[in-house]
Amino acid sequence: MAEFEKGTPRVGLRFRIPDEAWKFWVAYGGCTGFDVRKRYANVSSYDGKVTSARFVCSNEGHRRKGQTNNVTKCFRAETKTDCKARMSLMLNRGSDDYEVSDVVLEHNHLLHLPETRHLMATQRKISEIQAFEIEAADDSGIRPKDAHEMAARQVGGLFNLSYTCRDRKNYLRTKRQRELVFGQAGSMLKYFHDKIAEKGGEVKKFKKEEKLA
């Protein structure tokens, strides 16, 4: 099986599950300097397994017709260049794993510099310490924009920060939605439950027993 943390995609690589192949493609894009996305995944109606999938460069395809002709207030750079870079998977029923059946690694656009690769959408992340600082700033009544500028100054500039101001706002919105559903205490338990699940650990549920007086 391929190690998804490193290596170059090539025909014949095998993965246990599609998610493992996706992480491999994300890691390759982060090391090379291009953002990625999922193009499609075909699912069998017989057993619900993914039978084939394709992962592509985020510049694949063209902007939808009409989006480039309208005059907008804010100019948006053209990011769709019909890039053909891709990695395709096929399910091998005999070995019950997934084999890379098609690979294209050439791009028709400029790649990100090493200094900015961590700012690509699939590479951005908020660490546990950063999450604590974001919540502390929010609890203190500091506006997200001001808090983000302060965090950027602490690390020497925006390009050294591993997340954007929009990521900060999305994190706070998700936190508030979680608290509405689970309550503050339940929200914290849900947060740690998800973190343990992400790391592949075993989540143990403890049942509180009431003692009779």
pLDDT of the residue at 118: 83
Averaged pLDDT of the chain: 82
Q: Has residue 22 been placed in a domain?
A: yes
Whole-model pTM?
0.66
Same domain, 181 and 134: yes
Work out the average pLDDT over 9-15: 95
pLDDT in tens, 129-182: 888 899 898 889 999 889 889 888 888 887 788 888 888 888 888 888 877 776
How many domains, in total, are found in the chain?
A: 2
Residues 20 and 61 in one domain: yes
Q: pLDDT for 91-126, tens place per residue?
A: 999 999 999 999 999 999 999 988 888 888 888 888
Residues 98 and 60 grouped into a single domain: yes
Q: Are residues 111 and 148 in the same domain?
A: no
52 and 111 share one domain: yes
Within-domain flag for 33: yes
pLDDT of residue 207: 40
> Looking at the structure, do residues 102 and 139 belong to the same domain, yes or no?
no
The confidence score (pLDDT) of residue 24 equals 95
**Is residue 74 predicted with pLDDT exceeding 60?**
no
Quick one: pLDDT band at residue 3, thresholds 50, 70, 90?
very low
Phi, psi of 169 (to 5 degrees): -65, -40
Same domain, 25 and 79: yes
Same domain, 162 and 193: yes
DSSP secondary structure of the chain: ---TTS----TT-EESSHHHHHHHHHHHHHHHT--EEEEEEEE-TTT--EEEEEEEETT-S-PPTTTTTS--SS-----------EEEEEEETTTTEEEEEEEE---SSPPPPTTTGGGSTTT----HHHHHHHHHHHHTT--HHHHHHHHHHHTTSGGGSSS-HHHHHHHHHHHHHHHHHHHHHHHHHHHHHHHHHHTTPPPPPPPPPPPP-
Q: Are 85 and 106 part of one and the same domain? A: yes
Band of residue 209 on the pLDDT scale cut at 50, 70, 90: very low
Domain residue limits at 57 = 14-65+73-118
Residues 20 and 114 reside in one and the same domain: yes
